[in-house]
């Protein structure tokens, strides 16, 4: 159980059909199914012991449900990002207010861009995807902010997907789930690597909550690999949210521990 874990979530926007899309073709989104899948996701966070902070849907923020991108939360501080897609920059104001009670806040400034979906925290190493959303100026600013706390920031190359966390996710402080088709695992050097099943494209995105994982139900072979690694794998339907190019990590901002130090 994760009693000291808070999760910020935001209900899906009624304007979600105008979301940003990069690698996915636009198709109609069934908002009733989105609400049902998001509702189950939030329920599962609660079942796994998270205290959930729910922000209201905002009609002017089509991608607002993907709260992972406007911030990066570490134990010591939080960084409000400057999302690479200009349409997503208005999301930061409400996320900043939601995070203020929990962490000292820092901000990425122009010309830097950074999406939280491009950031993997793996122990004291922070990997940042050199994607279409995050640039070197954003990475350099992040390194300046977190360096004094002992973190090393490294840019990593990826191809064919939106964010670094589409291609790889932390499942522990030294272990990563990786989809080799989109990223070369050698970039993670000393970390332990669990590979997704090659036939399950998009299977590397997973919410890591200690021994528990939140994971899409459409990747059963990789789910079994994760079980064999000792995890309890909690599967849910996520295909309607995926039409907006979202993945399971995108829908929550996890805050470990309490308050500001």
Task: Give the one residue of 85, 105, 143, 201 binding ligand CIR; rule: CB under 6 A.
Answer: 85
Residue 250 falls in the annotated catalytic set: yes
- Give me the least distance between CB of 21 and ligand CIR, in Å please: 6
**Catalytic residue from among 6, 19, 161, 163:** 163
**Residues whose CB is less than 8 angstroms from the CB of residue 136 and which lie 6 or more positions away in sequence, other chains included:** 130, 155
* Contact call for residue 240 and ligand CIR (CB under 6 A): no
Question: Are the CB atoms for 237 and 216 separated by under 8 Å?
Answer: yes
Rounded to the nearest whole angstrom, what is the least distance from the CB of residue 15 to ligand CIR in the complex?
A: 12
Q: Which is nearer to ligand CIR, 117 or 155 (CB)?
A: 117
66 binds ligand CIR per the rule CB under 6 A: yes
Contact flags string 197-236 toward ligand CIR, x per CB under 6 A = ----------------------------------------
Which residue's beta carbon is nearest to the bound ligand CIR? 117
∠ CA 82-160-19, nearest 5°, is: 50
Nearer to ligand CIR among residue 79 and residue 244 (C-beta) = 244
Binding to ligand CIR, residues 92-131 (CB under 6 A)? 117
Residues 11-50, one symbol each (x = binds ligand CIR by CB under 6 A, - = not), give --------xx-x----------------------------
- Supply the DSSP string of 39-77, one letter for each residue: HHHHHHHHHTT-EEEEEPP-TT-TTTT-TTTTEEE-SS-
Cβ proximity to ligand CIR, 72 vs 189, nearer residue? 72
Q: What is the DSSP letter of 259?
A: S
Contact between 69 and ligand CIR by CB under 6 A: the answer reads: yes
Bond preceding residue 111 cis, omega within 30 of 0: yes
Q: Which residue has the tokens 């998009």?
A: 202
- For the stretch 55-66, what's the b/e string if a residue is b when 16 or more beta carbons lie within 10 angstroms of its beta carbon? bebbeebbbbbb
Residue nearer to ligand CIR on the CB measure, 6 or 243: 243
Binding residues among 242-261 for ligand CIR as defined by CB under 6 A: 244-247, 250
Q: Which two tokens stand for residue 111?
A: 């010309």
Q: Are strands 152-156 and 5-10 parallel, antiparallel or unpaired?
A: unpaired
Handedness of CA 157, 160, 163, 164 (dihedral sign): negative
Comparing CB distances to ligand CIR, the nearer of 20 and 240 is 20
Residue 106 has a CB neighbour count (10 Å cut-off) of 16
- Point out which residues pair with 121 in neighbouring strands: 126
List residues binding ligand CIR (CB under 6 A): 19-20, 22, 63, 66, 68-69, 85, 88, 117, 162-163, 165, 244-247, 250
């Amino acid at each position: 159980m994760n009693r000291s874990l808070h999760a910020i979530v935001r209900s899906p926007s009624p304007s979600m059909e105008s979301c940003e899309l990069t690698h996915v073709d636009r198709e109609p989104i069934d908002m009733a199914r989105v609400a049902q899948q998001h509702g189950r996701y939030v329920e599962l966070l609660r079942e796994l012991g998270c205290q959930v902070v729910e922000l209201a849907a905002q009609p002017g923020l089509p991608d607002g449900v993907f709260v992972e991108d406007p911030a990066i939360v570490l134990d010591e501080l939080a960084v409000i990002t400057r999302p690479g897609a200009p349409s997503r920059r208005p999301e930061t104001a409400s996320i900043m207010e939601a995070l203020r009670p929990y962490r000292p806040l820092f901000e990425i400034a122009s010309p830097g861009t950074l999406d939280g979906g491009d950031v993997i925290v793996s122990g004291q190493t922070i990997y940042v995807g050199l994607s279409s959303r995050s640039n070197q100026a954003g990475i350099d600013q992040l390194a300046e902010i977190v360096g004094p706390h002992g973190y090393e920031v490294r840019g990593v190359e990826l191809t064919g997907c939106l964010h670094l966390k589409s291609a790889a996710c932390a499942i522990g402080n030294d272990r990563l789930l990786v989809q080799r088709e989109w990223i070369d695992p050698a970039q993670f050097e000393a970390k332990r690597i669990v590979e997704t099943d090659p036939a399950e494209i998009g299977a590397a995105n997973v919410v890591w909550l200690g021994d528990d994982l939140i994971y899409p139900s459409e990747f059963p072979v990789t789910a079994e690999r994760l079980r064999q690694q000792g995890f309890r794998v909690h599967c849910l339907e996520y295909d309607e949210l995926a039409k907006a190019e979202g993945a399971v990590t995108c829908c929550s901002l996890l805050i470990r521990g309490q308050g500001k130090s």
